[in-house]
Amino acid sequence: MTLHISSAFNEDLIHINGKIVEMGGLCEQVITNSNLSIKDNNVQMAENAILLDEKIDLLETEINESVIKAIALRQPVADDLRVLFSAIKISGAFERVGDLCKNIAKRSQLLTEEHHTDIRNQIFKLGEKVKKQLTKSINAYTNQDVKLARKVWKNDYKIDQMYTDLFENLLVYLRKKKRVASGSHLMIIAKNYERIGDHTTHIGEMTHFAITGENLVAVRPVSYTHLTLPTNREV
């Protein structure tokens, strides 16, 4: 972390940085639990994810309060203000990750049918891919690694591609099995993972901005631009 003219302000930044890193660690835990709740229909993991989300929410509030206090007392400008702005954005993204993982965990508790196994495994693989992306975004912030932050940003399309493939499989599954209620939960869970991927990308973007002052504005590579509905021969 860059040292600043004001030692008091530098202490503020160290405190805020530590809380964001702690928040990131909790997000890794919550997505691990939500993934296992899907893969193994593990009720305990689902309950753990729900409880962890509460801790993540509290940390976001603490970070926001610390940032507001630092702005009010230190009156930062330029680079210092940019870092604080990024801290609020990153903590907000982590909070959304926690919310989405909680939603996944809650919905997983409604899926008790063994015949969902194949689809659940596919969703689990998507969840693990998203978890790896989340870990990279946390490492980019923790180590102030611009190259890794940019890599996270660029690789978002890979998660989008996995989600698109999974979505098409879910459509086929719904039309074959005709289980609308459980299928709807599975589709929302898959979409939540895709949204978590978007938030990890945003963390990478804001980390890059905090370090360099530059926005990543170029268009990321896109593999899939639309969803293909299954044909009659597929159902």
Taking only the tens place, the pLDDT of each residue in 186-235 is: 999 999 999 999 999 999 999 999 999 998 875 555 544 444 444 433 33
Cα(196)–Cα(28) distance, integer angstroms: 12
Nearest to 122, CA basis, from 180, 190, 177: 190
pLDDT tens for each residue of 69-78: 999 998 888 8
Cα angle: 34, vertex 37, 43; to 5 degrees: 120
- Tokens 């969803």 -> residue: 227
CB-based contact 175:235 (threshold 8 Å) = yes
Residue 67 predicted with pLDDT over 80: yes
Q: Which of 9-13, 90-94, 103-107, 206-210 has the lowest mean pLDDT?
A: 9-13
Residue 115 predicted with pLDDT over 50: yes
CB-based contact 126:200 (threshold 8 Å) = no
What is the CB neighbour count within 10 angstroms for residue 114? 8
CA atoms within 13 Å, Cβ hemisphere of 188: 17
Nearest to 156, CA basis, from 140, 141, 134, 139: 134
| DSSP H/E element including 137 | helix 117-142
pLDDT confidence tier of residue 175, bands split at 50, 70 and 90: confident
Domain 7-234 sits in CATH 3.30.420.40 = no
Pull the structure tokens for residue 94.
């982590």
Q: Please tell me whether residue 221 adopts helix, strand or coil conformation.
A: coil
Q: For residue 53, what are the CA distances in angstroms to 58, 95, 180, 187? A: 9, 8, 28, 22
> Tell me, what amino acid is at 15?
H
Q: For residue 56, what are the CA distances in angstroms to 47, 49, 144, 147? A: 15, 10, 22, 27
Cα(83)–Cα(30) distance, integer angstroms: 26
* Every domain of the chain and the residues it spans: 7-234
Residue 99 predicted with pLDDT over 60: yes
Higher pLDDT, 130 or 7: 130
Cα(133)–Cα(200) distance, integer angstroms: 7
